[in-house]
Structure 1
Amino acid sequence: MTTFDPKDPAFIADPYPVFAQMRAEGEVHQHADFGLPVTLSHAASAAVLRHRGLGRVWSDVKPVDAFAAFNLLHRNSLLENEPPTHTRLRRLVAGAFGRGHVERLRPWVGELATRLVDDVAAGIDAEGHADLLELVAAPLPVEVIAELLGVPAADRGLLQPWSNTIVKMYEFGLPDEQRAQAEKAAGEFVAYLRELIALRRKNPGSDLVSDLVAETDADGAKLTEDELVATAVLLLMAGHEATVNVIGNGVLALMRHRDQWQRLVDDPGLLPTAVEELIRFDSPLQLFERTATTDVEIAGVTLRPGDKIAALLGAAAHDPLVFAQPEVLDIGRSPNPHLGFGAGIHYCVGAPLARIEVSATLDALTRRLPKLQLAAEPVRRAEFVIRGLSSLRLTA
């Protein structure tokens, strides 16, 4: 059967034709490199994400003593726990989010996106180029999450390097040197957040960390300090990486589909559906893993307790049984049941904020730089699981 090499540059450049061929051969394939089955269809992928017999069961990275900080972040994470722990964590985090943080930030995000896009025009170099990743896509979500958490302006430059280094651990076959760097970054991030939490306990503000510290549910439960730290790190890593890559992958897609770019320039009312389509068209997260906690059957494949399976989200997003002409970029596509924010109890708690960030960026770009176009071939990152660009040079 057809398979893929997750380190093959040609596959990483465009995995979707390979996914289509694999899907035609079967909804689920055993992947030798990953050592687990992977789902290719939308139905099978959605079943993996929603089935209550499949969960996020965290196993500490070994050796445990060498990855104390990285393991701490995941043992206490909303994403890596199942009920009843997940239920308690999500109730508390959602309660803190529900204090109006997303709406509080909406106008601020719009102003930030406009300011950063104006930097693109001002930052065009002697060759007439500016890098959208460097000037907009990378700094915007960091600033937004930092504002959400109440990180002082002087410290915000620390966040992106920590996030970029830690998320490398989610790739397969990472060299030992990079694993050590990820643990070092995790340790520094944990130490920083403990200090920030201590400060907010003494001097609460209008930020999310202050609300997470104060949040108590109907049963009197509160987040532990380790859970507070893990929640803040999850919001940064998930919010930063996903938003950077939706913006980068999405603007590249629009540059290569000029009719859709012009359509958005002409009709800003398409922004909500455009955001969803860009998430679908070139998924920022390609693979999401689950572990069976009981006997489970997915598309004819039986899993026993402890068996792992992964949903290939990019493949699911191009399933022709769900998306008409999936290889066509259509910014007006509706309905658009992509799985880019997950599904089931682990659906992304930060999805509303991510949508605001991407929409604000597209709005600023189409208003300020309607003649935007590619100035050079983009540089794609070598990783498969977290799909994105390292450079996207444009000219106005």
Structure 2
Amino acid sequence: MTIQDLTPALDEDRIADAALAEILFSPEGVQDPYPRYRTLRETRPVHHSKLGMWVFTSYDDVLAMLRDKAVGKNVEGFMHGRFGGQWQEHAALRRMGTSMLWANPPEHTRLRRLAGKSFTGAMVERLRDRIQHTLDELLDPIAEAGGGDIVNDVCYPLPLYTVADLLGMPREEAPALREPMRNFQRTFELGLTAQELREADEGAQFSDDYFADLIDRKRRQPGDDLVSALIAITDAESGRLSPIELIGMCNMVIGAGFETTTHMLGNGVRAFAQHPAEAHRLRADMSLLDSAIDEVIRYDAPVQIVVRTLTEPRTVGGVQIEAPAQLILGIGAANHDPAHVSRPEEFRIDRRETASVSFGAGIHTCMGWRLAKLQAEVFHSTMLRRFSAFDLQEQPVYRPRLTLRGVESLRIAVVNA
């Protein structure tokens, strides 16, 4: 083999690494990662990056890895690789080490079984009327003023209050958890500064202490809520949740339940505002609501990447990968793969194509997908019913994060129906 034979492959590696660096570290890549995903997918859909991690950007490969039993979570290896041997000294990283989100079978199976006995579809559906009432109250000031910051005034408090109601938290206590949880969730990003890690530790400790107190209150005075159900639940095979596991479940529900849903709702408003013809179509035909919500979740997913560990050798896309290997699975990239989605950069509410991977797949499929979709259905149908039009008043600016993708604020002007 000559150097001429090697040059095209080397060029492709450089192109792929440059695209990945822009996605992860540049303001332009954070604002709009999708053209960079396309470059990666067309150049190196299975790419061994300079970070030492394998990056997947095609739909088929991402879905296969999400479903593969040899692809799991190696919290010890991942944390040690990122933060060194002292990672357990950090409250935020210790939490990740004990979370169901990072567990593998059989521990993951046990925790998910116990959580599933309490977090049921019936429990979620009981929240519908409360979600509608809360949303109507939050939208009243927007309607009266002719607009406002829909993200911070509506898309943030709606899921936060919804998850608080689900857990059995007093609503007045919920806002205090916003910043601690947002700071903790920086640990999901691949780029994390020392200052951000300190703030994440403080946030983790704050919410751990809060939920320890809430659990103690629910032991003394249980109610018709998820925390009380998690305390009481038992299983002949799985036993009960330990105190640490209970706190971990509460943190997982509040963290995943409001931050990602806030982004999902805000990203959806942006999509409808920038595609008014699609908003008009849905107003005229609400039978399209289900497919419209699926399109919102596909078009600009609130979770863009997930990290996994490969424990057995695999050949993916014709590329041999030795184990163990750290993987970056491109959820946002897979959702925009033209091999499965025709004209993926278009926002079309009547798509009937391949399901997105925004909620994951396999054993780590998001447990809260029903609650997220319920809130999206109530939110977008209400927005379209109450307002005959809504327009962006400023260019959306995305938060400087990729794993969890959403805008900092979104000011809109509305026309009451």
TM-score by length of 2: 0.90
CA contact (8 A) 2:121 2:370 kept: no
Compare 324-333 and 95-104 and name the one that shifted more: 95-104
| Larger RCO (CA within 8 A; separation ≥ 6) | 1
CA contact (8 A) 2:93 2:187 kept: no
What is aligned with 2:310? 292
1:302/1:224 CA distance change after superposition, 3 Å: farther
**Deviations 1:118-160, CA, capped at 9 Å, x for gaps:** 23223x3xxx641111111111111011110011123111121
Matched, 1:66 2:89: yes
Matched, 1:78 2:100: yes
Equivalent-residue separation in structure 2 for 1:65 and 1:314 (angstroms): 31
What is aligned with 2:210? 192
Matched, 1:349 2:372: no
What is aligned with 1:102? 124
CA contact (8 A) 1:48 1:310 kept: no
Equivalent-residue separation in structure 2 for 1:96 and 1:76 (angstroms): 20
Superposition deviation, residue 21 in structure 1: 2.3
What is aligned with 2:6? none
What is aligned with 2:156? 138
Superposition deviation, residue 76 in structure 1: 2.4
- The code of the aligned residue for 2:289 comes to L
Superposition deviation, residue 29 in structure 1: 1.6
Equivalent-residue separation in structure 2 for 1:297 and 1:223 (angstroms): 38
Superposition deviation, residue 220 in structure 1: 5.7
Matched, 1:372 2:390: yes
Equivalent-residue separation in structure 2 for 1:391 and 1:142 (angstroms): 16
What is aligned with 2:69? 52
Q: 1:37 aligns with which of 37, 48, 54?
A: 54
Superposition deviation, residue 99 in structure 1: 7.5
**Deviations 1:357-383, CA, capped at 9 Å, x for gaps:** 111110111111121111121222111
Superposition deviation, residue 343 in structure 1: 0.2
Task: Classify the secondary structure of the residue corresponding to 1:327.
Answer: coil
CA contact (8 A) 2:87 2:94 kept: no
**Deviations 1:315-362, CA, capped at 9 Å, x for gaps:** 100111111111111111114410000000000110000001111110
Could you tell me the percent identity over the aligned residues? 33
Q: How does 1:112-191 map to 2 (within 5 A)?
A: 112-122=134-144, 124=145, 129-191=147-209
What is aligned with 1:91? 113
Superposition deviation, residue 73 in structure 1: 2.2
- The code of the aligned residue for 1:311 comes to L
Equivalent-residue separation in structure 1 for 2:54 and 2:251 (angstroms): 29
CA contact (8 A) 1:293 1:305 kept: yes
What is aligned with 2:243? 225
Q: How does 1:268-347 map to 2 (within 5 A)?
A: 268-347=286-365
CA contact (8 A) 2:54 2:325 kept: no
**Deviations 1:17-48, CA, capped at 9 Å, x for gaps:** 2212221223212232x431111100010011
Equivalent-residue separation in structure 2 for 1:195 and 1:151 (angstroms): 11
Q: 1:389 aligns with which of 398, 401, 407?
A: 407
Task: Classify the secondary structure of the residue corresponding to 2:240.
Answer: coil
- How many residue pairs end up in the alignment? 390
1:220/1:380 CA distance change after superposition, 3 Å: closer
1:285/1:99 CA distance change after superposition, 3 Å: closer
CA contact (8 A) 1:145 1:240 kept: yes
Equivalent-residue separation in structure 2 for 1:351 and 1:254 (angstroms): 21
Equivalent-residue separation in structure 1 for 2:135 and 2:282 (angstroms): 17
Equivalent-residue separation in structure 1 for 2:98 and 2:87 (angstroms): 15
- The code of the aligned residue for 1:49 comes to L
- The code of the aligned residue for 1:66 comes to E
**Deviations 1:202-236, CA, capped at 9 Å, x for gaps:** 21100100000111113261111111111111111
Compare 374-383 and 348-357 and name the one that shifted more: 374-383
Superposition deviation, residue 289 in structure 1: 0.9
1:227/1:301 CA distance change after superposition, 3 Å: farther
Task: Classify the secondary structure of the residue corresponding to 2:126.
Answer: helix
Equivalent-residue separation in structure 2 for 1:331 and 1:278 (angstroms): 8
- What root-mean-square deviation, in Å, do the aligned CA atoms of Structure 1 and Structure 2 show? 1.6
Equivalent-residue separation in structure 1 for 2:238 and 2:405 (angstroms): 41
Equivalent-residue separation in structure 1 for 2:389 and 2:313 (angstroms): 55
Equivalent-residue separation in structure 2 for 1:312 and 1:219 (angstroms): 36
Q: In terms of Rg, which structure is larger?
A: 2
CA contact (8 A) 2:92 2:187 kept: no
CA contact (8 A) 1:118 1:368 kept: no
Equivalent-residue separation in structure 1 for 2:347 and 2:121 (angstroms): 36
Equivalent-residue separation in structure 2 for 1:334 and 1:162 (angstroms): 39
